[in-house]
Amino acid sequence: MNLPPVSELTVRVNYSEVDQMGVVYHARYIVWLDMARTEHLRRAGTTYREMELAGYRLVVGELHMRFRQPARYDDLVRVRCWVRELASRRVTFGYAIELADDGRLLATGSTAMMVLDATMTPARLPENIRVHLQEVPDPVRL
């Protein structure tokens, strides 16, 4: 594909996303990963909806996060997403969460997504979906 192998999503930190200390609550980052992964698939040429209609699901089997610096209310945050590893029954995505204005790295993460069929049985990723996913080296140290 001619699309960039690393996609980007920009979000502005909402007041409801910060905790009593004024920083983004840790669980909110997981939502941003999901949003970035969904957009990465869309930009690559497929969508979760299309996968589900074809009878396949990508479900989180593993999640890893490393928090480096806090994001705060009203920060503009960039979430970069890429495919770290593409196996027959698993897709591992990598993420870098940065301040959009200066690129300061706030957090990194990865999710290993298991492929299931409509009966929730492990399945192989179909070739017509697989062709949309390009494995690339990590652009940042996770």
Domain ranges of the chain: 13-130
Q: Which H helix or E strand runs over 140?
A: none
What is the average per-residue pLDDT within 107-127?
96
Task: Check: CB of residue 109 under 8 Å from CB of residue 97.
Answer: yes
The class level of CATH for 13-130 reads alpha beta
Q: Grade residue 4 by pLDDT with cuts at 50, 70 and 90.
A: confident
Token code pair at residue 91: 């897709």
Binned at pLDDT 50, 70 and 90, residue 1 comes out as very low
The Cα 68–Cα 124 span in angstroms is: 35
Which pTM value belongs to this model?
A: 0.94
pLDDT at position 3 is 62
Q: How confident is the model at residue 38 (pLDDT cuts 50, 70, 90)?
A: very high
| DSSP letter, residue 16 | G
Output the average pLDDT for the chain. Answer: 95
